[in-house]
Amino acid sequence: MDVANLKKSDAEQNAKIAQLSDTAKEALARAEEAGKLAKGKFLFEVTLSDDVVRFGFNKSDLSAEAKAALDAFAQKVKAENKNVYIEVQGHTDSIGSEKYNLELGQARADAVVRYLNMQHGLPLHRMNAISYGEYKPVADNKTAEGRAKNRRVTLVVLE
């Protein structure tokens, strides 16, 4: 790998770290406003995206892979044995209207919350589903690969 590629890779990793930090701070602020936190401490974050978990194009249904990932997530949350607040953030690619993408992101986040509650008993009052639609991309929406990375749900866990 040449120096230019190393610098580019380093810059991309630094940008991802900054984005994760911003996402956690935003979730923490919303949770504190809702009065749902005792400590306000970021514990961890999990992202379900098309490279691991497939959301069908224009779909919010949870695949078998998504359910397996959520099962592992729920086990981790329960193993922590803490009262946590989980913000479930729905994201989409940029295809479609702003309104449609916000609704689709919300439907994906809602599907995750429903699954975690109904299958694992995680309390609804400790979770919040929101949609960012197409507004917080992690990749370029000009390519199919980038759009696939942007179709995701992020779970931010705060104590």
**CATH code, 84:** 3.30.1330.60
Burial letters for 134-154: b for 16+ Cβ neighbours within 10 Å, e otherwise?
bebbbeeeeeeeebbbbbbbb
pLDDT of residue 13: 64
pLDDT of residue 97: 92
Number of domains in the chain: 1
Classify residue 51 by its DSSP letter: T
pLDDT of residue 12: 72
pLDDT of residue 116: 95
118, with CB counted inside 10 A (0-12, 13-18, 19+), is exposed
pLDDT of residue 38: 46
pLDDT of residue 94: 92
Report the alpha-carbon distance of residue 27 to residue 33 in Å, rounded.
10
Classify residue 138 by its DSSP letter: S
pTM over 0.75: no
Place of tokens 């975690």: 116
One-letter amino acid identity for 77? V
Report the alpha-carbon distance of residue 3 to residue 36 in Å, rounded.
47
List Cβ neighbours of 42 (8 Å cut-off, separation of 6 or more). Answer: 24, 28, 156, 157, 158, 159
pLDDT of residue 66: 87
List Cβ neighbours of 134 (8 Å cut-off, separation of 6 or more). Answer: 91, 92, 93, 94, 96, 98, 101, 141, 150
Average pLDDT, 10 consecutive residues per value, the chain (159 residues): 68 64 64 55 73 72 88 90 87 92 93 95 93 91 88 87
pLDDT of residue 2: 72
Where in the sequence is the domain holding 91, given as residue range(s)?
3-158
